[in-house]
Structure 1
Amino acid sequence: MSTSVLDLAELARACAADPATWPVTPRVDPDQRWYSRIAADEHHEVWLITWGPGQGTDLHDHGGAAGAFTVVAGTLTEELPAEAGPRPGAGPNGGLFTVEAHSRGATVDFGPHHVHRLTNRGTEPALSVHVYAPRLTTMTRYELDADGLRVLGVDREGEAW
């Protein structure tokens, strides 16, 4: 039985709402994002991630996994490649990205072909719960320019996380 995107969003919200069930206490590392897998079964996995000010991810996908995340504290900024390519006269990102801010309590769900970058652009730490189905085995990192997405590398479970 597969887990739907809607189920993943519900699971992310439920896990975020019940910190007493987390097997670890989140901590903020001043140099890099801190993360811990807090639950997993054969269908999905749940990660807890802290984001210090200025910390973020590369542009990446989830290796064919669908997912959802809930922001527990702070605000995360999500950048998504613009579907229509760069827009003339667009803002500082050259129109290559659509930018969305997700504050405390927001839940975002996405399908298996989602490419994005998440960053804490605030001055306070952020905390989020992420759910993926199936479990992550690879994540592809990308660069985006006027010609589109270009693969920079593929991270694999057991090597990169």
Structure 2
Amino acid sequence: MTAVDIRLDHLAIAQRLAAHPESWPVTPRFHATERWYHRLASEPDYEVWLLTWLPGQGTDLHDHGGSAGAFHVFAGALIEETVAAAATGTPRVTARELGTGAGRRFGTRHIHRITNRSTQPAVSIHVYGPALSTMTRYRIGATSLDVVTVERAGAQW
């Protein structure tokens, strides 16, 4: 078995921060109409974001502009839907629920959306390496995944 360097393991970074919420520079906040987020750390190889989700809040389908990463559910439950091309050419959506303490890593080509479909607020920690520079938003078309917009760090978030 190969040892994982936790300094570069995005999920391990998120789990380490989740284990010490007293070290966060902010307390999680909730906003009635949109997700709240705050960057917890910016390092040469990665950045870390704290996000909150009230019931019904979520993201559009998006990628991370070539960054790999991970997210860890600190509290509550989130649904992650991932998109992959099917043999027919029509994009296929797969959903999974991640509850408190669960997390997952993802690669540089990962496309997903995250939603809080529960009745309770949720808090999650997201790590991206390298730091996000762009995010492409998508919609599912009849036979393909269509680009809606490309957002840039510093301009849209």
TM-score (norm: length of structure 1): 0.89
Identify the residue that residue 18 of structure 2 maps to in structure 1. Answer: 16
Counterpart residue number, 1:96 = 92
Contact 2:6 2:12 in 1 (8 A): no
- Contact 2:6/2:13 (<8 A) preserved: no
Counterpart check, 1:45 vs 2:29: no
**Alignment length (residue pairs):** 153
Q: Please list every run of at least 4 consecutive aligned residues from structure 1 whose deviation after the TM superposition is greater than 3 angstroms.
A: 3-6
Does 2:147 match 1:157? no
* Separation in 2, partners of 1:56, 1:72: 16
CA shift digits 1:56-111 (9 cap, x unpaired): 0010000000000000111110111143267xxxxxxx983101000000011000
Name the % identity.
52
Whether 1:68 aligns to 2:64 is no
Q: Which residue of 2 aligns with 1:90?
A: none
- Paired AA for residue 152 in structure 1: V
Cα distance change, pair 148–141 in 1 and its aligned pair in 2 (3 A): same
SS at the partner of 1:32? coil
**Which among 108, 113, 120 is matched to residue 112 of structure 1?**
108
Deviations for 1:124-143, whole angstroms, at most 9, x for unmatched residues? 10000000000001000001
2:15 aligned counterpart, secondary structure: helix
> How many Å apart are 1:144 and its aligned residue?
1.1
Work out which of the residue numbers 58, 61, 80 in structure 1 matches 2:60.
58
Whether the 8 Å contact between 2:7 and 2:13 is mirrored in structure 1 is no
C-alpha change, 1:74 and 1:158, in structure 2 (3 Å) is same
For structure 2, list consecutive stretches of 5 or more residues without a partner in the other structure. none
Cα 1:85/1:150, change in 2 over 3 Å = farther
Residue aligning to 1:121? 117
Q: Is the 8 A contact 1:5 1:67 kept in 2?
A: no
Using the size of structure 2 for normalisation, the TM-score is 0.91
Deviations 1:32-51 (A, max 9, x none): 00000011111100000000
Report the aligned-residue RMSD: 2.1
Residues 29 and 100 (structure 1 numbering): CA distance in 2 closer, same or farther, change over 3 Å? same
Unaligned runs of 5+ in 1: 87-93
